[in-house]
Amino acid sequence: MTVISAHDAEQRLTSLSGWRIDAGELVKTFNFKDFREALAFVNRVGEGAESAGHHPDIDIRYNRVRLSLITHDAGGLTQKDFDMASYANTAA
C-alpha cells in the first residue's frame, strides 16, 4: 500500500464527517446512548475490519468509542485507513 501524503490526507478528510488526523493517525470518537450501543457498534466495526483485513485501535469508555487508524506496515495513512473510516461512519 502506498502512503498518502499529508496534503492528500487532509483533502480526503473533507468526505469523512467527524474524523481528524492526530499524531499521524486517523481518529474519531463516536458517542452512543449507552454501553450496549457502543459495544454493538464495536462488533459491527470488528466484522468489517476482519473482512477488510485492516483493524483499528479501539478504545471503549462506557458510551464513547474512539477509533484510531494507521497502516503500520506501510508506515502511515493509506487508502485502507480511509476506507475503514468510511465503513465505521456507516456502521454508526
CATH 3.30.1360.20 applies to domain 19-91? yes
Q: Is the pLDDT of residue 38 over 90?
A: yes
Q: Cell numbers 469523512 label which residue?
A: 16
Backbone angles phi, psi at 30, to 5 degrees: -100, 140
C-alpha 74: how far from chain center: 16
Q: Is the pLDDT of residue 43 over 90?
A: yes
What's the pLDDT score for residue 1? 85
Joined grid coordinates for residue 21: 488526523
Please tell me the distance from the alpha carbon of residue 58 to that of residue 6, in angstroms, as a whole number: 23
- In this prediction, residues 33-57 reach a mean pLDDT of 97
Average predicted confidence (pLDDT) for the chain: 96
How far apart are the two ends of the chain, measured CA to CA in Å? 27
Sign (positive or negative) of CA dihedral 70, 75, 76, 79: negative
Q: What pLDDT, in 10s, does the model give residues 54-86? A: 999 999 999 999 999 999 999 999 999 999 999
